[in-house]
Amino acid sequence: MAFLFRSSSVDESAKMDAASAHQIRTPEEAVSRIAYLASDVVVSVQPSLATDSPFSSHLKRYAGRKDQSLVAQNASSVPEIISVRQNNDPLLSVFSPIRSGKLVSVTTNSSILLPSVSHLYKLAQYPVVLHVSLEPKNFADYSVITSIRNTGWTFLQSETLQEAQDMALTAHALAVRTGKGVVHFFAPETSAEDKAIPAENTTVVRDVLDIDAVRRFQSGSIHASGIYADDGHVAVSSIYPEPVVGQSQTEKSGGLTPVPAESKATSAMTSVKTSRASESGDSEASVSVATTVETAPPQITSADIYDAATRIWVQLQASVGRSYSAFEYTGPADATNALFIFGSDVGSFAAVLDNAKNEDIFAKAAVITPRLYRPWIGSKLVNAIPKSIKRIAVLEQIHRKTTKWGPLLIDVLTSVKSGPGGVEHIVGYQLGYVDPQVITQALRGIFQNLTSEKPIQNLEVGVRDAPTQEIQDANQAPKLETAYNKILDQLFGNRRYVANALRSEHAGISANVAASPEFGFGSLLARKQLRNRFISEAKAAASSKEFTTDGPKNFLARWAMNAEDPAKAGEIADDVIARLETDGSPLAQKLLRNKGLFRKESLWLTGSDAWAYDLGNSGVHHVLASGENVNMLIIDSTPYSEKAAADAERRKKDIGLYAMNFGNAYVASTAVYSSYTQVLQALLEADKFDGPSVVLAYLPYFGEGDSPLTVLQETKKAVDAGYWPLYRWNPDNEKKGEPNFSLDSELIKQELKNFLKRDNQLTQLMQKEPKFASSLAQDFGTEVRAQQKRKAKDAYNQLLEGLLGAPLTILYASDNGNAASLAKRLGNRGRARGLKTTVMAMEDYPVEDLSSEENIVFLTSVAGQGEFPQNGLAFWDAIKDSTDLDLASVSFSVFGLGDSHYWPRKEDKIYYNKPGKDLFRLLTNLGGKVLADIGLGDDQDPDAYHTAYNEWEPKIWAALGVDKVEGLPEEPPPITNEDIKLASNYLRGTIVEGLNDPSTGAISAADQQLTKFHGTYMQDDRDVRDERKAQGLEPAYSFMIRCRLPGGVATPKQWVQMDDISNELGNETMKLTTRQTFQFHGVVKGKLKPAMQAINRSLMTTIAACGDVNRNVMCSSLPTQSSYHREVYAVSAKISDHLLPSTNAYHEIWLTDDDNKKTQVAGEAVQDFEPLYGPTYLPRKFKITIAIPPHNDTDVYAHDIGLIAIKGADGHLEGFNILAGGGMGATHNNKKTYPQTGRMFGYCAAEDAHIACEKIMLVQRDHGDRKNRKHARLKYTIDDMTVDVFRAKVEDLWGKKFAPAKPFKFESNVDTFGWQKDENGLNHFTFFIENGRIEDTPEFQMKTGLREIAKVLKGEFRLTGNQHLIMSNVADEDLPALQALMKQYKLDNVQFSGLRLSSSACVAFPTCGLAMAESERYLPVLIGKLEDCLEANGLRQDSIVMRMTGCPNGCARPWLAEVAFVGKAYGAYNMYLGGGYHGQRLNKLYRSSIKEDEILEIMKPLLKRYALEREEGERFGDFCVRTGVIKATTDGTNFHEGVAEEESDEE
Ligand code: SF4
């Protein structure tokens, strides 16, 4: 007898096939592989997205290798793996793909089955396969399977590793052939000891799967319908195909086709077999209870399923030699006793029976197991049992029994008729955990009862509970979720009581239950009751005589009176506790046991969005309905960008709306990564509200590896698009006559809008916040967008009607505006030639019109790695794979704009003008006629892209026959910045009109140039740019405001004022810039003027903070010599004032209110005069700085004018060495542009400094290049003129000469962190402010902390040129208070690596419009990845100057860093090495366009080498030069020479 055959036999051919193949070791691996091969989509259920399941690691491996599935329709596509958290209603993810004709399988443990019953009923009618590993791992509970046996699914069981592979395959083949869902279940422990098996040969898998049937299924799709009601879908198998009117016979016989819901009636009519109860047990055609669905008779019967399974097994046997049947009988043919086992011990029992001796009571017994558990075909069981069997023990491994008789016992009893001549006794047992040591004993017990005269039913075998194992699959909260818990902690401290935090310990309660709202609510109620009892006890104690001291009584009495007031109770609590502790009596000790209850706790339930799925029945409902004062914090982690794909069918209910509808609850919707202060506000309001509160908190979550940047970007998109609006709803407001609803973001979704409309809240809101009116009124969506496109096109056509001439459609895709303006000019020129021209962005063009065009030309530039610019992407996506577009009657041409030097590596040259070339090729392939050959504009040509364009355009006119048109109108020259300045009436332009235009958040292009002079730039949030475009919305425009703060010195009062401005008018953050000033971001147009006024009220200004004027004048911050600093700083202020523009426009536009202005302007233009600048100001921006040796913290070489302070013998400022012509801006690959260091002009006395600066500026004003802005900075003027000539002009104008420069010495250009004392005994502390960003995060409340410090500081703040902050002039006696605050807010920490402390990054994404790559948000991450290496090489304390900018404009002065990264494209940087440590030498290009992995690959060995080979005191930049890693740049003019990676010119 060989019971164990199941785990071993493999036939020879399979062995040969598998010889070279991978060995499979676990049933989960076997199942995952088959599921992957046989599915279009695999839903992988995981404990958390960060924790793999035993299946998911394999699935990810296959997907990572891009392994093909056997059922993929497209050779290049690989199955989609959808990872879903197990407590996140995973089966919802099945509906959408299965209805669209995709084969879906699910890999999961059994914990999800019971909560998914409602889905199981509906999914039974689709060919879905569920592979289920039974839990718990060491003692599986089969009751989960018996509980769902009536859901209409087919159930297959496997017990060994080999069977797991074979049954997995059977399950997929059966699902496809029968059109019905199949559950394949197994207890992994049963195969724990099995040897590895070869992976099934894919030919066998393909044959068994029946790819033809697969294709027929895939070619159909089912109309989407709800999942909360029966959608009427009926399974259709290849055995009984659905007749479809008009379908040919051959098509009909094809079989498995998804059937739309509407065809339900037809399906019912064509049902060819009626259902009969399985109990009859004697008919092959019977339909089991399991497969009967009351509402719609199934198309397919139990017998059909059985037949299909049998055929599959016959096929399997033929190819691999293993045989299977619906009921497996193993044992002697003449056995009299049998075990019918439904549990995980089959193998162990079989092994004991195998080795039984004749005298054993269980000798010669057989084992029967169900392989096809549902449909249960009684007759097949009867056939499987030899006539000799008289007694059957039915062993069911069911942990919780709900009925008297086990379900298996009933199945066997109803199938196998007992009685004389047949089976005499069928006896049920409940199979508990049987220790392997006692199997024989257990068997003996079973057989003793079975063979007794009157066997007892329902005996328990083994013990109920298996030895406990660590449960690894418990739900896990994403680490990021701790953000909100930290805030709760911050706000409520020891008053916080969270009832059901994930991972909290609740003895005897499973993690799932403990995390449920019901459980939490119950425990909060218990907590409240406990406290009420405690209050009574305290009251009683107040008049008790049991205390040993008098202290407690009074305080207890006072406390009891105020116990319900959180603030007062909290205040008295400390006193009461102290008194009780001193008292020490037993009564005091008793009260102290619950001392937490002396505080009025803030009671919180925390949970996830999974609570939304069955909202009506859930604990959320109970809490709301109870009216209890309980707060819920519900975290929603569905990423915005995934919601459409993953949640199409989820119908997650909106908890916020649900709660607001209740009317009695406080509701808030928040997102910590969008508005930190709004979260604080909401949590405080919720705590205060006397009733239930629901705070919804958004925290998009992809996986534990998410970088904060991803979370931030996702949050912004969700909030900005209205998917996750920020709002607060407080029913108490009504009593105060205020609207209940406050909207804290700008867009809301339709459902919310409807709710508010119904409640009349929308009107109130609009009245209160008119700025919202326009965004609230607009809807968005793809249909709207489509209609807009159509309308735009029709309007154009109407316009053109009546015009003669041939039509010419011009479409453009433009990244930086060049292609767009070229297209528009082409359109104008065409029109002048009598053509009917239409010009549009590709994204606005309705693609369906393409084949009806007569003439069409495309102009496109290049984005990213050879991709279409954003406004051409959708168009390209729509046509690129098209095979049915017929362009035979369309004439076309393409002009591309690119840069042949952009990609230095030879292999990347293909990206040059790729979109244009791709488009041209495609249009040719689609049969289009070439109007003119493709034109390829190249930035490297003498006239840039114009060179090729000027050849291409005439060819278009010639091809259209309009090249000889006479009398063309003269074209106006393009408008330049110089024109704008000139026409602006001293910087007024139409700024006022633009500010007053409520229809857009933007201002005109010309005004955008002018507002720079006023210290503000228009920007748009690039994180949400694409999303808004897709929604048909204008970009999220806002303004950056930069203050003018000479020398970077601000009073504490000013600091608080700046902080207020950022909170109330900006985006809740401030940036301390590399020019020592405050910068605000995210100021929307409507708040721009109030923000400017607030800045001026704080005695700062913004005038000339940007623009073609002298900007903020910098000065070393010098904490150690305050008196000397004061003298030098005074000069920086003097220069700044002296060079200020004089226009009244600033005052007029920003600082006068509307009434004033009417009086002031009074109908006549204001006459302005700019004595220094004249009407066109300077050719380009102009920057001045002062450095005080030995500190070069302001990078004196990087500016148009750099003043080096020279101290006299008396210790006072004597004068300055003056450098001129430094500058950072450059353009990638444009060798005519370069960074430059300032050249020494000589020395001048301190009192002359502002005049010397003025004269240098004036020579630049008159000699700078006003034609080419890329060549307009002073550095080019001086290089073109030579230093001597330029200096002579300055001296002429000045009437004085520069004296020879005086000696000086710089030592570093970084800040010194921590405390320092100055010569007057005052203290200074330099804070490390990473990249100058002042903000609060849940982890670090830096902004609040600095504000608190500013409130008490008596000294001043100094902003440093490295974007850090110094708290200055602190007297010794004030130190303790400030140090306490610093400690409280963790602001005293300066223990960072030397690299981090010496780093600096510009703003870049998301606000800077010029950014090509991340900078401020990425540099800290990159440094984090290098710090281990620094540590390992003993470099942690070494200062290495590393800088990063998002583009070559160079705002963070990257070219002077020892190592720098300058953005090239998103995620790609040019790397520079060899800068001088104290900013004296420019660096040089080392590598182009490298990504993080390459950066790390270069940096790590280089740092190691530096650690090992450096000379005493040698700096990193010098080391790179000395060792030949890079050549030294001795002057800006040789910056491009001898670079490490020469750019190749080859195509
Ligand atoms: S360096 Fe470039 S990306 Fe960075 S802030 Fe300046 S302009 Fe923007």
- With tokens 């079973």, the residue in question is 446
Distance 4 CA to ligand 1 centre (A): 71
The best mutation among 1419, 1443, 1445, 1472 to test binding of ligand 1, ranked by most ligand atoms within 8 Å of the C-beta, falls on 1445
The best mutation among 1407, 1451, 1456, 1461 to test binding of ligand 1, ranked by most ligand atoms within 8 Å of the C-beta, falls on 1451
CA nearest neighbour of 251 among 243, 260, 263: 243
Distance 556 CA to ligand 1 centre (A): 63
Interatomic CA distance for residues 463 and 1380, integer angstroms: 60
Q: Known catalytic residue: 1244?
A: no
By the 10 Å C-beta count (0-12 exposed, 13-18 middle, 19+ buried), 1069 is classed as: middle
Question: Going by DSSP bridges, is the β-strand pair 327-330/197-198 parallel, antiparallel, or unpaired?
Answer: unpaired
Interatomic CA distance for residues 553 and 561, integer angstroms: 13
Tokens of 1254: 């003025």
Active-site residue among 1408, 1429, 1484, 1487? Answer: 1408
Phi, psi of 463, rounded to the nearest 5 degrees: -105, 155
Distance 1021 CA to ligand 1 centre (A): 14
- Position 744 scores a pLDDT of 85
Concatenated DSSP letters for 7-61? GT---HHHHHHHTTSPEE-SHHHHHHHHHHHT-SEEEEEESBTTB--TTHHHHHH
Distance 449 CA to ligand 1 centre (A): 85
The best mutation among 1022, 1183, 1333, 1449 to test binding of ligand 1, ranked by most ligand atoms within 8 Å of the C-beta, falls on 1449
Distance 1407 CA to ligand 1 centre (A): 9
Return the exposure string of 1330-1369: e unless at least 16 CB atoms fall within 10 Å of the residue's CB, then b.
bbbbbbbebeebbbbbbbbbbeebebbbbbbbbbbbbbbb
Q: Known catalytic residue: 1429?
A: no
Distance 526 CA to ligand 1 centre (A): 57
Active-site residue among 1447, 1481, 1484, 1487? Answer: 1447
Active-site residue among 1043, 1115, 1402, 1520? Answer: 1402
Q: Known catalytic residue: 1447?
A: yes
For atom 2 of ligand 1, the residue with the nearest CA is 1447
Interatomic CA distance for residues 101 and 264, integer angstroms: 18
Q: Known catalytic residue: 593?
A: no
Distance 1415 CA to ligand 1 centre (A): 9
Q: Known catalytic residue: 1111?
A: yes
The shares of helix, strand and coil residues in the chain, as percent rounded to the nearest 5, are 40, 15, 40
Element (H, E) at 1065: helix 1052-1065
Interatomic CA distance for residues 480 and 478, integer angstroms: 5
Tokens of 1052: 């504490």
- With tokens 């609510």, the residue in question is 521
Residues within a 6 A CB radius of ligand 1: 1402-1404, 1408, 1410-1411, 1415, 1445-1447, 1449-1451
Phi, psi of 156, rounded to the nearest 5 degrees: -120, 140
Interatomic CA distance for residues 1144 and 1136, integer angstroms: 17
Distance 1219 CA to ligand 1 centre (A): 24
Interatomic CA distance for residues 811 and 790, integer angstroms: 15
The best mutation among 1022, 1403, 1419 to test binding of ligand 1, ranked by most ligand atoms within 8 Å of the C-beta, falls on 1403
Distance 1405 CA to ligand 1 centre (A): 9
The runs of H, that is alpha helices, within 694-769 are 708-720, 750-758, 761-768
pTM above 0.85? Answer: no
Q: How many CB atoms lie within 10 A of CB 361?
A: 15
Q: Known catalytic residue: 1451?
A: yes
Tokens of 1269: 């802005």
For atom 6 of ligand 1, the residue with the nearest CA is 1451
CA 537 to chain centre: 51
Asked if residue 969 has a cis previous peptide bond (ω within 30° of 0), the answer is no
Q: Known catalytic residue: 1253?
A: no
Ligand 1 atom at minimal distance to the Cα of residue 1403: 5
Element (H, E) at 1221: none
Ligand 1 atom at minimal distance to the Cα of residue 1409: 8
Active-site residue among 716, 1451, 1453, 1481? Answer: 1451
429, 376 Cβ separation under 8 angstroms: no
Interatomic CA distance for residues 1532 and 1202, integer angstroms: 16
Distance 689 CA to ligand 1 centre (A): 46
- With tokens 């425009």, the residue in question is 1037
The best mutation among 1111, 1333, 1410 to test binding of ligand 1, ranked by most ligand atoms within 8 Å of the C-beta, falls on 1410
Phi, psi of 1240, rounded to the nearest 5 degrees: -75, 120
Active-site residue among 1181, 1289, 1333, 1347? Answer: 1181
Ligand 1 atom at minimal distance to the Cα of residue 1462: 1
Helix-helix angle 1419-1432:1492-1509, to 10 degrees: 40
Interatomic CA distance for residues 1370 and 1383, integer angstroms: 16
Distance 1464 CA to ligand 1 centre (A): 12
In one-letter notation, the amino acid at residue 1414 is E
Ligand 1 atom at minimal distance to the Cα of residue 1452: 1
Interatomic CA distance for residues 1071 and 1048, integer angstroms: 13
Q: What is the mean pLDDT of each run of 10 residues along the chain (1547 residues)?
A: 38 41 89 95 86 91 89 83 82 87 93 80 91 89 88 93 96 93 94 90 90 83 45 55 38 38 34 33 38 47 92 94 93 92 87 87 92 92 91 88 78 78 86 85 91 87 68 46 78 80 48 66 86 92 88 89 88 90 90 89 83 68 87 85 53 80 91 87 92 92 72 86 88 86 78 72 65 49 54 62 76 87 91 88 88 94 84 89 86 93 75 94 93 92 89 95 85 79 86 88 90 93 81 85 94 97 93 96 93 93 90 91 93 95 89 57 54 92 96 96 96 97 88 93 97 97 92 96 97 97 94 94 96 91 96 96 96 96 94 95 91 94 95 95 95 97 92 96 94 96 97 96 96 91 43
The best mutation among 1447, 1455, 1462 to test binding of ligand 1, ranked by most ligand atoms within 8 Å of the C-beta, falls on 1447
Active-site residue among 1042, 1261, 1417, 1453? Answer: 1042
Ligand 1 atom at minimal distance to the Cα of residue 1404: 3
Distance 1346 CA to ligand 1 centre (A): 27
Q: Known catalytic residue: 380?
A: no
